[in-house]
Structure 1
Amino acid sequence: MQATPMSADDTKRPASPYVSVFCDVSKVLTNCSTDAPGPAYLAYTPNGRKLVTVGTNSALRVFQHGSDNEPAAIDVLTENHTAVAATNDFFVVGAEDGTATKYSLLTNSMEQILVRCALPVRDIALSKDGEWAAVASDELDVKVVNTTNMEKVMYLREQARPVKHVSFDVSGTLLAVSCTDGMVYMYSLSSEQPQLVKRIDGLIKTLETDAEASAKIAWHPDGRAFAAPTSTRDFQVVSRSDWQRQKAFSGGHRADISASGWSHNGALLATAGIDKSLGLWETRSQRLLKTFDDVHQTILAIDWHPTDNVLSYTNNNGELFIREDFVPQEHIRNLKIALQPAPMNNDPLSEVSGNARRQMPNGHKANDVRRTTEDDYLDDLLGPDAMSDDGAGFIEDDDGAGYAEQPNRFGKRAGAALDSRPAKRHEPYSAWQPRLHEPFQPGSTPWRGNRRYLGLNLTGFVWTVNQETHHTVTVEFYDRQEHRDFHFTDPFKYDKACLNEKGALFSCPPSSYTQQRSLLYYRPHETWTARMDWRTPLPAGEEVTSMSLSDSFIVATTSAGYVRTYSLFGVPLKVYRQKSTPAVTCASWRDYVLTVGNGPVSGDGTTRLLYTIENVKRDEICQSEDILALPDGVELRSVFWSEKGDPCVYDTDGVLLILLHWRTPGQAHWVPLLDTKTLERLQSGKKEETYWPVAVAVNKFHCIILKGGEEYPYFPKPLLSDFDFRIPVSDPPLNSEDEEDKDAAQQSSLESQLVLASVNHSLLQDLVENTNATSAQKSELPALEREVDKVLLQLLAAECREGEERGMKALEIATLMRDRTGKMLEAAGKIAQRFQRGVLDGKIREVAERRMVGLVDEDDL
């Protein structure tokens, strides 16, 4: 475990006196600072990439998760900051001067003051979508302001005293307001006018707004319940459905609770107290797993990292602590399991054991609903047949009392003799569901502010601006001599687009403008007649999930599981139901279309992606429901066709793959062309960047470089970069002056070139053998063969340089040469002679002679 205290004065004064307590388990980063002594608060971004801290001084700090670099410091005019909440793109800070200010995480600068209060701000909460910010202050009203339009404000006025805390539920439609009068007010925000739906009395204690004790509502991630600190120093769970008290976490603190936080899956809980205590709880049993005795200040804010085993907290001395490996190894399984139910009375315990039977997608267990410990105990005493699932066993219903009636789905018999007993089992809270890959449109980005890219490739960019009542769409081309940019008002609010040299394709979701129909809209760039735009609606209730545009066809996958194919002039050509559903994405090139969908469920609960490649013109299937090769935990980022017409995919691990032998059914396999994590520009560790895939063309990977933890390109229009292919064969040493390391690096580079040249040759050979190839393509094939042989000659020279003991490998390299004229083997013999490898020269001559007379088996070559 690692607790990392960071203080504003670490670089100016000796380390904190608490460092000696932590010396056996901690590392102090003296070059990082948070805030001056005084109350400090923190918030992780939902993706976990950044951590924002605020405190009493005039600097806000943004830490990169997992980085030892200095945090980004944002100097502001305000001081005495009292609250912070963050999204992936921005964060909102409250201060004692009454302002709630929005700051950009993209530019690390202030965007706007969302709201001003006459008295100090005490707490801020953001809805899950980041659209609304609730601001609590020493005023009586709570202001809920829109983060994109500060003129949209809702006022919550039912409370009679100032509010200390605010907290949105998981859906963002219910806001819990913890008032200093000891009441919790529940407001519904699902309508334009907020509605008070419940006052909860006696749950929290009466507190002053500046008290260190907490009364903040902590919503459980499953959304069914929430919990709050009580006056008895417990952490009480309350049901959302009937507002009744459920289980409680008791006995962990000797003073009031000051901070709390659920883990991302709700299986664990962390609480801190004014008594300078920190506890880790198991949700299922409300058991205190561990108490941390190295806390020497009152913790004011706690936040779990969304994915890693890391807990961060700030205290009343302006310090930030980052505890790595917070959950002990013996309990780490609780952090890795799926979403767990809130601890409710009479709820079945959630299964966390690796031996637990999995639930099927219909909500039942693999062998019916799991029986409780009481039933297992009876089985041990009476034998398995006594309480068998078929309801028979040895019990006979000889008096008609209903003892032998068939059990219901929960293992209970419905006979009259049992009706008076309270039920011990209830239906599980929610059925287990596989984790599906969400559909996406290649080249599109999510909304950031009021802008987003609908599509981008080597042809150009398509982007849209949300104007509230309508959108405005702009299409820009790289080659403006060939095509003109155009711009139009979009009342349909298109959310997907494709662009190529012939035209632009758009689609929109169902809306009032299209009588609740989803639309496809195609706009050709040039025609030999008057340009004919066309629109076609989809059947009611059906929506485009992804679409693709080629030189010949338009293909759209829909929410109904259909694949719809149209000509470029809107003629419907084919409609069929996709085998692997729900659909994920699609991509087209000339007459070919590649579709991807969710397939069978793997062992970790995620679906395997399956792809199909079809020649639409010939109505032929090249590959049918083959597995898309992605390792566990890695998702598909983009799908596209290369300039030469080969399917490519790019995953979230930064690996670019191309499909080899895809025209032959059952023979396709994915080959990595580039692993971006191995790029030399990243090896120093000083750069933090990822890559947004755009295209594969001219034997290069074209992409947009995303810096600073960004996930998507944004405005202004980014520049394209390109990288050479480098198939990951080995990991050579970089920038080393040692001769052996240099030789190893050269060897690795040659081996990578050999595999890449072989892949390029195979791709072109498949094209020539299966299509009406042009004369240029046919003439390029021998050139690629010579390229392979040239790399083999360089490898042969490297082996000869090492000595006679490497002769057998050198001979093997010589037999791999593809040239049938004997010139390359003759050159190989000359290399052997140059290095005075007489035996090797003789062996190579034998291979050349046998090849010339046709005595060499192809398998030996």
Structure 2
Amino acid sequence: MATKLRARPAHAPGPTYLSYTPNGRKLVTVGLNGALRVFQHDSDDEPAVIDVPTDNHFAVAATNDFILVGAEDGSVTKYSLLTNSMEEMLVRSSLPVRDIAISPDGQWAAVASDELEVKVVNTQDMSRVMYLREHPRPAKHVSFDISGAMIAVSCTDGLVYVYSLSSEQPQLVKRIDGLIKLLDNEAEASSKAVWHPDGRAFAAPSSTRDFQVVARNDWKLQKAFQGGHRGDISAAAWSPNGALLVTAGVDKSLVLWETRSQKMLKSFNDVHNVILAMQWHPTDNVLSYTNNNGELFIRENFAPNEHAKLLKIALQHAPTNADPLNDISGNARRPMPNGVKPNGHVRSGDDYIEGLLDDAMSQDGADFIEDDDGAGYAEEPNRNGKRVARSIEGPQAKRQTPGPVWQPQIHEPFQPGSTPWKGNRRYLCFNLTGFVWTVNQETHNTVTVEFYDRQEHRDFHFTDPYMYDKACLNEKGTLFACFGSSHHPAILYYRPHETWTSRTDWRTELPKGEEVSSISLSDSCIVATTTAGYVRIYSLFGVPLKMYRLKSSPAVTCASWRDYVMTVGNGPVGGDGMTRLLYTIENVKRDEICQSEDTLALPDGVELKSVFFSEKGDPCIYDSDGVLLILQHWRTPGQAKWVPLLDTKTLDRLAGGKKEESCWPVAVANNKFHCIILKGGEEYPYFPRPLLSDFEFRIPISSAPNGDEDEINSEVTLRKSLEEEYVQSSLQHSLIQDLVENTSATQTQKLEATGLEREVDKVLLQLLAVECREGEERGMKALEIATLMKDRTGKMLEAAGKVAQRFHREILSEKITHLAERRMVGLVDDDEV
């Protein structure tokens, strides 16, 4: 497929810059005019325009939720991508801002300006600022490594300064000379250090117009990408897996390279201006870049077909001299998504590199840090694994060379119905009973519980000194949980809505060091999974009923309904390097296991988004592909299967990708899927509280009609509709029949099962009529449909025979009559044709 070049209107003629959001859904551009443009990926719609009070913007960096924009007046402003509006002025310099980099966890932003210092400011708290001051001249570029614990500063004095943020005060780790050339801040040429995705090296434009790699283990020059440009390099970008590299030059050149061999794969001759910024899309074969003429280009299918396969392989090694040739086959080692957590104050998430230094792969004893800069600082881990700055005395500090170590990618625990912090607010629980939300007041939180039925329950709120981060809500009460702190261990707190005694709410503390990973609440019990691998089950009044250790660990989440408890944990590792999720369902009251360590049905690359029980008590899951599934035959050990109830991508309002909308699951009740519609690429609901939407189930039996009027009114469409209705009614009958056969069902439930059986036969009768209208050649299928009828009295088969007679299908009528006679005397099995 030929490369498709897409030019988009961007900004006034002049320097223009861009940034993708990490999820790849949005692309933000800035330029000389007083507006920001937000483009939706893979959409031809006009971009959203954010009018701003500044102009002459020279830098932009994006997270999924917000963007930071640097301007000539020295301001760095934070704009929300959820509302496309300004949030705050994050930091200000007295001179123009030249570059901005955001740490991988989105918590810190490094700002380079024409001042002599680089400011590193917390994106959530502007009062928390660190300063990098070891470079003597202004910085032109800044870039975080993959862990967020190191920053490479490209200075206008022709040196790269590497700072560590792992200790309380930023420390200079290395001055690298002889790499980049001396440049003015306003020069179109680049000197930016671009970290390779595996974190073991970075590369930067050299004074010889090459793209030179520098290894992290010894900060020495390694392999180089040579001969691609006649002028200085102006921009460069690694592909997301590090297998490809693209560079651009001030000579209006654009070159694609293979990382492993440093071979030039293709040189593009359709660039007419100097490219100043470019970036690969995080998942697609798309390269976007902006130039010095206010233009944005989106090149789809950028890597040619013969090289596009390189984008689909696993994370590749950085091209250093000591590395063997990387495996570019399907057997390549997967990237390590879960590393050792850093103990520095900058990040609290997973750290890919820092934790590997003590478990390095090579034994060559290469110098990790050289004290040739006179700074006298280096990092060494203390006995607790923390990195503390100390002076280097005597021999140079030695470190083993870090290398990627494969580790399985586990599914992190989550609480169904909760959202992350957005500003100072978040939802702790969201269901059909009501919702729980909390506000961070710095020293404490305030929790509010609101109900949809205010005649049945009254809203309440309270001051929360424990800072609860999880909650469950039902008709009987509200359950909370919080992490441990220096003042208290992890706590479970239950508050009933009604009581006939003076006080029935209760708290229980978990053993020190054990944290709550997820909680659930039913009409009869309380469940908590913990970081110690335990499942703790309590009665509604705090009596500990059961405690056991999960076989599949660490735990991911849990759900409960009446006496049934469902737990989900990490199981064995699949071929894609991710653990398979395993679920267990048990009846706590009877101490019976319904399903034990069965695999959760999720395709490769699809994540679990929510787990809950339906209104009738059947387990349901919702995945990142937007598919809602329900568990059939789950009360019979070994017979459970996950059946799709609805693929939200096929909804009329979402079909075809015309709108960037998604569904946030809430509940399954009244034979409908209740959810919140999220617009504009949002991942979670926010305040003010959005309205609930509900959709009928639509099992994806076949493709939807294409919209043609003749097709919609045709027999084909009618048949498809009836076939989907048959599968759905059969599923609903199966679910209620399982309930009747395995529990002390009420008379209403038994009548519902009988009614659903009749509904199944009615749909089959309609489907048989459609086949009879098609002609005699459909007779065998019509007879097969008749055998599917569940009625034992013979009335439905009698009706089927009359339908065949009405359409003059005499042979079919005779066979249906014969089938009815044999069934009446018990000679025909249900599944016999």
| 1:59 Cα deviation after fit | 2.4
Letter of the 2:4 partner, please give it.
S
| 1:661 Cα deviation after fit | 0.6
Range that drifts further, 348-357 or 529-538: 348-357
**2:253–2:268 contact (8 Å) kept in structure 1:** yes
**1:34–1:318 contact (8 Å) kept in structure 2:** yes
Deviations 1:29-50 (A, max 9, x none): 6xx4112221110000011100
- Which residue, 287, 291, 294 being the options, matches 1:311? 287
Is 1:583 equivalent to 2:555 in the alignment? yes
Q: Among the aligned pairs, what percent are the same residue?
A: 76
1:718-797 aligned within 5 A? 718-738=690-710, 742-797=714-769
Separation in structure 1 between the aligned mates of residue 29 and residue 170 of structure 2, nearest angstrom: 31
TM-score after normalising by structure 1: 0.86
Structure 1 residues 119 and 264: alpha-carbon distance in aligned structure 2, compared to 1, 3 A threshold:
same
Letter of the 1:320 partner, please give it.
L
**2:705–2:711 contact (8 Å) kept in structure 1:** no
Separation in structure 1 between the aligned mates of residue 746 and residue 603 of structure 2, nearest angstrom: 38
Separation in structure 1 between the aligned mates of residue 139 and residue 337 of structure 2, nearest angstrom: 43
- Which residue, 551, 558, 582 being the options, matches 2:523? 551
Partner of 1:79: 55
Partner of 2:459: 485
Is 1:294 equivalent to 2:257 in the alignment? no
Separation in structure 1 between the aligned mates of residue 240 and residue 758 of structure 2, nearest angstrom: 56
**1:591–1:615 contact (8 Å) kept in structure 2:** yes
Separation in structure 1 between the aligned mates of residue 336 and residue 470 of structure 2, nearest angstrom: 34
**1:736–1:742 contact (8 Å) kept in structure 2:** no
Report the secondary structure of 2:487's partner residue: helix
Range that drifts further, 232-241 or 293-302: 232-241
**1:703–1:721 contact (8 Å) kept in structure 2:** yes
1:100-249 aligned within 5 A? 100-190=76-166, 193-249=169-225
| 1:855 Cα deviation after fit | 3.4
- Which residue, 380, 390, 410 being the options, matches 1:436? 410
Structure 1 residues 215 and 694: alpha-carbon distance in aligned structure 2, compared to 1, 3 A threshold:
same
User: Whose RCO is larger (CA < 8 A, sep 6+)?
Assistant: 2
**1:503–1:523 contact (8 Å) kept in structure 2:** yes
**2:794–2:824 contact (8 Å) kept in structure 1:** yes
**1:733–1:741 contact (8 Å) kept in structure 2:** no
Partner of 1:391: none
- Which residue, 470, 475, 486 being the options, matches 1:512? 486
Partner of 1:456: 430
Separation in structure 2 between the aligned mates of residue 485 and residue 171 of structure 1, nearest angstrom: 44
Report the secondary structure of 1:600's partner residue: strand
**1:492–1:508 contact (8 Å) kept in structure 2:** yes
Letter of the 1:683 partner, please give it.
A
Separation in structure 2 between the aligned mates of residue 634 and residue 359 of structure 1, nearest angstrom: 17
Partner of 1:835: 807
Range that drifts further, 602-611 or 586-595: 602-611
Range that drifts further, 834-843 or 620-629: 834-843
Range that drifts further, 839-848 or 601-610: 839-848
Letter of the 1:566 partner, please give it.
Y
Report the secondary structure of 1:806's partner residue: helix
Please report the RMSD computed on the Cα atoms of aligned residues, expressed in angstroms: 2.5
**2:59–2:100 contact (8 Å) kept in structure 1:** yes
Separation in structure 1 between the aligned mates of residue 680 and residue 201 of structure 2, nearest angstrom: 36
Partner of 1:370: none
| 1:458 Cα deviation after fit | 1.0
Separation in structure 1 between the aligned mates of residue 54 and residue 401 of structure 2, nearest angstrom: 52
**1:524–1:531 contact (8 Å) kept in structure 2:** no
Letter of the 1:500 partner, please give it.
N
**2:159–2:175 contact (8 Å) kept in structure 1:** yes
Range that drifts further, 188-197 or 750-759: 188-197
- Which residue, 434, 438, 443 being the options, matches 1:469? 443
| 1:153 Cα deviation after fit | 3.3
Gaps of 5+ in 1: 3-24, 364-408, 413-425
Report the secondary structure of 2:831's partner residue: helix
Partner of 1:859: 831
Report the secondary structure of 1:681's partner residue: coil
Report the secondary structure of 2:630's partner residue: strand
Separation in structure 2 between the aligned mates of residue 254 and residue 186 of structure 1, nearest angstrom: 29
**2:198–2:404 contact (8 Å) kept in structure 1:** no
Larger Rg: 1
Letter of the 2:238 partner, please give it.
W
Letter of the 1:733 partner, please give it.
P
Letter of the 1:26 partner, please give it.
K
Letter of the 2:581 partner, please give it.
L
- Which residue, 569, 574, 580 being the options, matches 2:546? 574
Structure 1 residues 359 and 745: alpha-carbon distance in aligned structure 2, compared to 1, 3 A threshold:
closer
1:355-504 aligned within 5 A? 429-504=403-478
| 1:192 Cα deviation after fit | 5.4
Gaps of 5+ in 2: 340-360, 365-399
- Which residue, 791, 800, 804 being the options, matches 1:819? 791
Report the secondary structure of 2:318's partner residue: coil
Separation in structure 1 between the aligned mates of residue 430 and residue 335 of structure 2, nearest angstrom: 41
- Which residue, 600, 604, 613 being the options, matches 1:641? 613
1:9-24 aligned within 5 A? none
Range that drifts further, 620-629 or 517-526: 517-526
Letter of the 1:573 partner, please give it.
L
**1:333–1:352 contact (8 Å) kept in structure 2:** no
Report the secondary structure of 1:521's partner residue: strand
Structure 1 residues 80 and 693: alpha-carbon distance in aligned structure 2, compared to 1, 3 A threshold:
same
Partner of 1:26: 4
Separation in structure 1 between the aligned mates of residue 654 and residue 334 of structure 2, nearest angstrom: 41
Report the secondary structure of 2:161's partner residue: strand
**2:315–2:334 contact (8 Å) kept in structure 1:** no
Deviations 1:763-784 (A, max 9, x none): 1111111101111111222111
Is 1:257 equivalent to 2:229 in the alignment? no
Letter of the 2:109 partner, please give it.
A
Letter of the 1:92 partner, please give it.
L
Partner of 1:398: none
| 1:63 Cα deviation after fit | 0.8
**1:734–1:745 contact (8 Å) kept in structure 2:** no
Separation in structure 1 between the aligned mates of residue 171 and residue 5 of structure 2, nearest angstrom: 49
Separation in structure 2 between the aligned mates of residue 243 and residue 450 of structure 1, nearest angstrom: 41
Range that drifts further, 790-799 or 481-490: 481-490
Is 1:61 equivalent to 2:54 in the alignment? no
Partner of 2:565: 593
Range that drifts further, 726-735 or 83-92: 726-735
Structure 1 residues 544 and 294: alpha-carbon distance in aligned structure 2, compared to 1, 3 A threshold:
same
Partner of 2:644: 672
Structure 1 residues 859 and 172: alpha-carbon distance in aligned structure 2, compared to 1, 3 A threshold:
closer
Separation in structure 2 between the aligned mates of residue 773 and residue 150 of structure 1, nearest angstrom: 59
Structure 1 residues 298 and 238: alpha-carbon distance in aligned structure 2, compared to 1, 3 A threshold:
same
Range that drifts further, 95-104 or 588-597: 95-104
**1:214–1:256 contact (8 Å) kept in structure 2:** yes
**2:95–2:114 contact (8 Å) kept in structure 1:** yes
Report the secondary structure of 2:306's partner residue: helix
Range that drifts further, 125-134 or 150-159: 150-159
| 1:649 Cα deviation after fit | 0.7
| 1:634 Cα deviation after fit | 1.4
Range that drifts further, 620-629 or 104-113: 104-113
| 1:359 Cα deviation after fit | 11
Letter of the 1:122 partner, please give it.
R
Separation in structure 1 between the aligned mates of residue 172 and residue 699 of structure 2, nearest angstrom: 61
Report the secondary structure of 2:276's partner residue: strand
Structure 1 residues 220 and 470: alpha-carbon distance in aligned structure 2, compared to 1, 3 A threshold:
farther
Partner of 1:403: none
Report the secondary structure of 2:714's partner residue: helix
Is 1:99 equivalent to 2:75 in the alignment? yes
| 1:332 Cα deviation after fit | 3.2
**2:273–2:293 contact (8 Å) kept in structure 1:** yes
Partner of 1:529: 501
Separation in structure 2 between the aligned mates of residue 175 and residue 469 of structure 1, nearest angstrom: 32
